[in-house]
Amino acid sequence: DIVMTQGALPNPVPSGESASITCRSSKSLVYKDGKTYLNWFLQRPGQSPQLLTYWTSTRASGVSERFSGSGSGTYFTLKISRVRAEDAGVYYCQQVREYPFTFGSGTKLEIK
């Protein structure tokens, strides 16, 4: 199975600042079609996960431009610009390159 390893954040992050979360995969997530199959989710307390980005950097419908995904191969980053209270929660990366579709262990974001 592909192992997804997420970095931690220096919590709490002051409101208005930027925060970057890293995610590393044990195998390249590039598929033969050229796309890189990496998703980012946010799970707010008590809520279901919300898809933020897919194919590494494509924002899901309705997601703020403050969220931007980047990366390639095995190293990925989710940047959250001008963090707000509503951004608090746990962020997960997930690879959908091959079965089973594995998640990282999550990165908690707290806002000050």
Partner 1 sequence: QVQLKESGPGLVQPSQTLSLTCTVSGFSLTSYNVHWVRQPTGKGLEWMGVIWTGGSTDYNSALKSRLSISRDTSKSQVFLKMNSLQTEDIATYYCARDLAYWGQGVMVTVSS
Binding site for partner 1 (CB under 8 A): 1, 39, 41, 43, 48-51, 54, 60-61, 92, 94, 96, 99-106
Nearer to partner 1, 17 or 106 (CB): 106
Helix (H) / strand (E) containing 41? strand 38-43
Helix (H) / strand (E) containing 51? strand 50-54
Say which residues have a Cβ less than 8 Å from residue 62's Cβ, sequence separation at least 6. none
Nearer to partner 1, 36 or 94 (CB): 94
Nearer to partner 1, 32 or 99 (CB): 99
